[in-house]
């Protein structure tokens, strides 16, 4: 395979071991970092990628992404959520999105953002969003 | 020799992941600079952590207290309060906290809440 059988046995074995080690190292690190981040074992307080993506989807009214990133509800609940998102005013423009911080306890994590929004009528709002994640998935938005 | 090669590959694999992992996606919007914890908000956080209802009632009016109650519900026994960050715009400050503790059925949970300030006055809770 891949011309490896043309190599001397020692070189072939060393190459296979190197590739195997690389694969184990890459996949193991990916699995470990994801597992640790989602389980909250280390009480991590950095920004969660899931929370970040959810906030952007919320502000950009991406109902499909919100369904994927949000709580896993029944089909009717998800349809209602999509309808809610599509009925929101289209002329709302986010000005700034600031990650304030977060904290974890076990699998539950809280991530808080401050958002500045400008509507086309000139109405300005400066409001916070608090996202509660369980196991790396957004379960509650306030 | 074989083990050393495997371990070498392992190190290369970990390094490759560290290089290719982009972490959190870039924020397409601007961010506000963080500010220090406002003193009035710190007093409220201290009163919550010390389980001090008198200090809370001295610092907050009834409307804000009710908003705070809603924000931390269903926390019953607050064990910790952590200030996570604050931002200011046009004299309005948002100060974010995470409260940890137990619910009435003994479950450990965390709840996030944000104190809204205008000047030195707490005007609302989200």
As a whole number of angstroms, the distance between CA B55 and CA B65 comes to: 12
As a whole number of angstroms, the distance between CA B94 and CA B108 comes to: 26
**The listed CATH number (3.40.50.460, 3.10.450.50, 3.30.750.200, 3.10.20.30) that belongs to domain A49-141:** 3.10.450.50
As a whole number of angstroms, the distance between CA A88 and CA A85 comes to: 5
Residues of A in contact with B17 (CB under 8 A): 25-26, 29-30, 33
- Return the higher-pLDDT residue of A71 and B124: B124
Residues of B in contact with A58 (CB under 8 A): none
Residues ≥6 apart with Cβ < 8 Å to B58: none
Share of chain A above pLDDT 90, in %: 11
Q: Which residue of B has its CA nearest to A113?
A: B96
* Pairs of residues, one from chain A and one from chain B, whose beta carbons lie less than 8 Å apart: 164
Q: What is the 3-state secondary structure (H, E, C) of A2-71?
A: CCHHHCCHHHHHHHHHHHHHHHHHHHHHHHHHHHHHHHCCCCCCCCCHHHHHHHHHHHCCCHHHHHHHCC
Q: Give the least confident one: A24-28, A105-109, A118-122.
A: A118-122
Residues of A in contact with B11 (CB under 8 A): 21, 25
Question: Which of A18, A21, A130 is the closest to B113 by Cβ?
Answer: A130
The per-residue pLDDT for range B4-28, each reduced to its tens digit, is 888 888 888 888 877 776 666 778 8
As a whole number of angstroms, the distance between CA B50 and CA B46 comes to: 6
- Alpha carbon distances (Å) from B125 to A40, B62, B93, B102, B117: 27, 12, 11, 21, 9
Q: Which residue of A has its CA nearest to B35?
A: A100
- Between positions 21 and 80 of B, the ones with CB within 8 A of A are 21, 23-25, 27-32, 34, 71
Residue A25 scores a pLDDT above 80: yes
Compute the nearest-CA separation of A78 from chain B (Å): 25
The per-residue pLDDT for range B34-91, each reduced to its tens digit, is 999 999 999 999 999 998 889 898 888 999 999 999 998 888 888 999 999 999 998 8
The per-residue pLDDT for range A67-104, each reduced to its tens digit, is 777 776 666 766 776 666 666 666 778 889 999 999 88
Residues of A in contact with B68 (CB under 8 A): none
For chain A, first and last CA: distance in Å?
55
Q: Return the pLDDT at B45.
A: 92
Domains and CATH numbers, chain B: 39-125 (3.10.450.50)
Compute the nearest-CA separation of A70 from chain B (Å): 17
User: Which residues pair with residue A140 across a beta bridge?
Assistant: A132
Give me chain A's average pLDDT, please.
Answer: 78
Q: Return the pLDDT at B108.
A: 87
**pLDDT-derived band at A36, boundaries 50, 70, 90:** low
Q: Return the pLDDT at B107.
A: 85
The per-residue pLDDT for range B75-110, each reduced to its tens digit, is 888 899 999 999 999 889 999 999 998 888 888 888
Q: Return the pLDDT at A136.
A: 77
Q: Which residue of B has its CA nearest to A103?
A: B98
DSSP chain B: -HHHHHHHHHHHHHHHHHHH---SPPPSSB-PPB-PPPHHHHHHHHHHHTT-HHHHHHHS-HHHHHHHHHHHTT--EEEEEEEEEEEEETTEEEEEEEEEEE-TT--EEEEEEEEEEETTEEEEE-
């Amino acid at each position: 395979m891949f011309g490896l059988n043309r190599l001397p046995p020692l070189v072939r074995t060393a190459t296979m071991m190197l590739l195997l080690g690389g694969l184990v190292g890459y996949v193991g690190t990916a699995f470990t970092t994801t597992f640790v981040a989602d389980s909250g074992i280390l009480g991590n307080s950095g920004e969660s990628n899931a929370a970040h993506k959810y906030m952007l989807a919320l502000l950009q009214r991406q109902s499909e992404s919100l369904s994927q990133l949000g709580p896993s509800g029944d089909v009717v609940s998800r349809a209602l959520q999509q309808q809610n998102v599509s009925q929101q005013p289209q002329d709302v423009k986010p000005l700034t999105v600031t990650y304030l911080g977060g904290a974890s306890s076990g699998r539950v994590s809280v991530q808080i953002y401050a958002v500045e929004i400008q509507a086309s009528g000139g109405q300005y709002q400066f409001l916070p969003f608090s996202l509660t994640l369980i196991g790396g998935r957004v379960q509650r938005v306030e | 020799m074989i083990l050393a090669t495997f371990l070498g590959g392992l190190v290369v694999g970990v390094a490759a992941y560290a290089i290719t992992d982009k972490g959190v996606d870039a924020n397409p919007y601007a961010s506000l600079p963080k500010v220090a914890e406002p003193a009035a908000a710190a007093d409220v956080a201290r009163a919550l952590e010390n389980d001090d209802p008198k200090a809370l009632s001295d610092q907050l009016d009834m409307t804000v207290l009710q908003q705070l109650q809603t924000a931390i519900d269903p926390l019953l026994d607050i064990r910790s309060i952590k200030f996570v960050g604050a931002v200011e715009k046009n004299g309005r400050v948002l100060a974010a906290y995470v409260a940890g503790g137990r619910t009435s059925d003994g479950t450990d949970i965390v709840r996030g809440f944000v104190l809204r300030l205008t000047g030195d006055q707490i005007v609302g809770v989200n």
